[in-house]
């Protein structure tokens, strides 16, 4: 506990220091100002039992979103409190309509945990994937408030199983139930004597991407750009990813590109325009139309990516040249698309499985990327077969949300809730 409390103090000091020059750190600090007043006011403004879902960032939100929306539909009299730890989740989703209240999670601590739980009095708490906090979990446990961890995935390289992992693993015992993605996670927790009830339900992201793919979507400007062309849709790209795409464009000139970078800052977009001289911005095309010389479309807004992969002949998902790993490749495979990504995908079970069935490729250098794309595009029959494998894989793995909903109903966790 001494080390954990010291960590909290040091973390607070460092992030406040970083906020003097770092935008995300500044948002982290400013977003927590007056949190007691704001949360108290929000909780007292309406009636209805509260369900609290916590997500570390945007990726975890997308994992929990389908469950959140199913709960909201099934229990409309309940209020949804959604918290984020990181600005990367809070800022793009702070106006998310399906949640009644959206806040930054106050930093863990005995006083903050007591205040928050005493104020919101949640009937159910859901943590998504990771981001467990000792004081919050222990306070919830002491009050016998049902607390679930969903879509969890555990691997040996997590700090949870390192030299000082005992304290972190003990936190898992505070959960009422843990829903893991796969058998390997279950076996690892058993090996380390985690005694909380555990079920294998799969990954709720499958349900989310299937829901998105089934919703009608049309964008005339993008569809005009794509007409009768082979398209590579590249999403959540970083600088190294874009170097790979640049090489590919130079060596397969007949292939058109839609690039949705991970960040859409002015500087980032300007650099991409310089890197791809034959490009246009989506915002420009919507006003001025498409130039006949344009073969790269740069998406300079957020919120479209999960819908854009449907336009691809092939897809590329960024992040694989950073050790934190690739972004969500299910957003592409759900449309029945072959997916490319970089070398780091250790935290992605679906990447490993899609590679095994031949519906995904991890590429290490520009030459390998270009040669593989050229080979795939040269055989339409093989391309169609691989695309079908990707779509079938996604469809076969749906259902995690339904399993968790069934657990809530069978255990009557929300049936008899009152204010």
Whether residue 194 is found in the same domain as residue 301 = no
For 56, counting Cβ atoms within 10 Å of its Cβ (0-12 exposed, 13-18 middle, 19+ buried), the class is buried
Within a domain: 230: yes
Q: Which domain holds residue 47?
A: 31-202+399-410
Q: How far apart are CA 336 and CA 304, in angstroms?
A: 18
Whether residue 252 is contained in a domain is answered as yes
Token representation of residue 125 = 């708490």
Q: What is the DSSP string of 238-274?
A: -HHHHHHHHHHHHH-TT-EEEEEES---HHHHHHHHH
Neighbouring residues of 280: CB distance < 8 A, sequence distance ≥ 6: 290, 291, 294, 296, 297, 298
Whether 6 is in a domain gets the answer: no
239-251 helix and 366-377 helix, angle to the nearest 10 degrees: 50
Looking at the structure, tell me whether residues 116 and 142 fall in a common domain. Answer: yes
137 lies in the same domain as 235: no
In sequence order, the 6+-apart residues with CB closer than 8 A to the CB of 247 are: 366, 367, 369, 370
163, part of any domain: yes
The per-residue pLDDT for 416 is 58
- Answer yes or no: do 313 and 295 share one domain: yes
CATH number at residue 118: 3.40.50.11720
> Do residue 186 and residue 267 come from a single domain?
no
Q: Dihedral, CA atoms, 183, 188, 194, 200, nearest 10 degrees?
A: -10
Find out whether 81 and 101 touch, Cβ atoms under 8 Å: yes
Q: 58-97 as b/e, with b when 16 or more CB fall inside 10 Å? A: bbbbbbbbbbbbbbbeebeebbbbbbbbbbbbbbebeeee
Residue 417 included in any domain = no
Half-sphere exposure of 308 (CA within 13 A, CB side): 28
69 in any annotated domain = yes
The total number of structural domains that make up the chain: 2
Q: What is the pTM of this model?
A: 0.84
Profile the chain (419 residues) by mean pLDDT over runs of 10 residues.
Answer: 90 94 94 94 90 93 94 95 94 93 96 96 94 94 96 82 78 95 92 92 93 93 93 96 95 94 91 94 90 92 91 96 91 96 89 95 94 94 94 94 95 70
User: Residue 380 has what pLDDT?
Assistant: 92
Query: In whole angstroms, how far apart are CA 21 and each of 14, 16, 25, 26, 91?
Result: 12, 10, 8, 8, 18
Check residue 414 and give its pLDDT: 87
Three-state secondary-structure class, residue 235: strand
Any domain includes 346: yes
- Is 17 inside a domain boundary? no
Q: Is residue 163 domain-shared with residue 312, that is, in the same domain?
A: no
The CATH code of the domain that includes 304 is 3.40.50.2000
> Which phi and psi (to 5°) does residue 244 adopt?
-65, -40
């Amino acid at each position: 506990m001494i080390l954990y409390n010291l960590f909290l103090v040091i973390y607070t000091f460092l992030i406040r220091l970083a906020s003097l020059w770092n935008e995300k750190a500044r948002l982290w600090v400013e977003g927590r100002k007056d949190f007691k007043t704001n949360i108290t006011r929000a909780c007292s403004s309406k009636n209805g039992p509260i369900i609290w879902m916590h997500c570390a960032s945007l990726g975890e939100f997308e994992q929990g979103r389908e469950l959140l929306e199913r709960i909201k539909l099934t229990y409309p009299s309940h209020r949804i409190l959604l918290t984020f730890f990181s600005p990367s989740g809070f800022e793009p989703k702070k106006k998310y309509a399906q949640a009644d209240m959206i806040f930054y999670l106050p930093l863990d601590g005995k006083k903050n945990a007591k205040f928050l739980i005493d104020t919101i009095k949640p009937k159910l708490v859901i943590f998504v994937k990771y981001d467990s906090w000792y004081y919050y979990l222990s306070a919830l446990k002491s009050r016998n408030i049902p607390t679930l961890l969903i879509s969890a995935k555990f691997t040996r390289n997590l700090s949870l199983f390192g030299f000082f992992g005992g304290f972190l693993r003990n936190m898992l015992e505070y959960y009422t139930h843990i829903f893991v993605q796969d058998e390997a996670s279950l076996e690892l927790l058993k090996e380390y004597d985690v005694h909380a009830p555990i079920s294998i339900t799969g990954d709720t992201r499958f349900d989310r991407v299937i829901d998105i793919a089934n919703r009608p979507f049309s964008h005339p400007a993008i569809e005009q750009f794509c007409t009768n062309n082979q398209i590579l849709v590249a999403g959540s790209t970083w600088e190294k990813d874009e170097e790979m795409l640049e090489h590919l464009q130079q060596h397969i000139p007949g292939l058109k590109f839609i690039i949705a970078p991970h960040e859409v800052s002015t500087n980032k977009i300007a650099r991409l325009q310089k890197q791809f001289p034959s490009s246009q911005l989506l915002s420009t095309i919507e006003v001025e139309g498409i130039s006949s010389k344009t073969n790269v479309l740069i998406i300079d807004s957020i919120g479209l990516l999960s819908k854009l992969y449907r336009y691809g002949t092939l897809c590329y998902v960024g992040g694989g040249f950073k050790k934190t790993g690739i972004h969500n490749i299910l957003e592409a495979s759900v449309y029945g698309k072959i997916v490319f990504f970089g070398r780091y995908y250790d935290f992605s079970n679906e990447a490993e499985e899609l590679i095994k069935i031949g519906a995904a490729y991890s590429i290490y250098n520009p030459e390998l990327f270009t040669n593989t794309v050229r080979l795939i595009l040269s055989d339409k029959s093989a391309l169609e077969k691989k695309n079908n494998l990707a779509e079938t894989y996604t469809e076969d793995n749906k259902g995690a949300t339904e399993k968790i909903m069934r657990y809530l109903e069978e255990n009557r966790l929300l049936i008899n809730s009152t204010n």
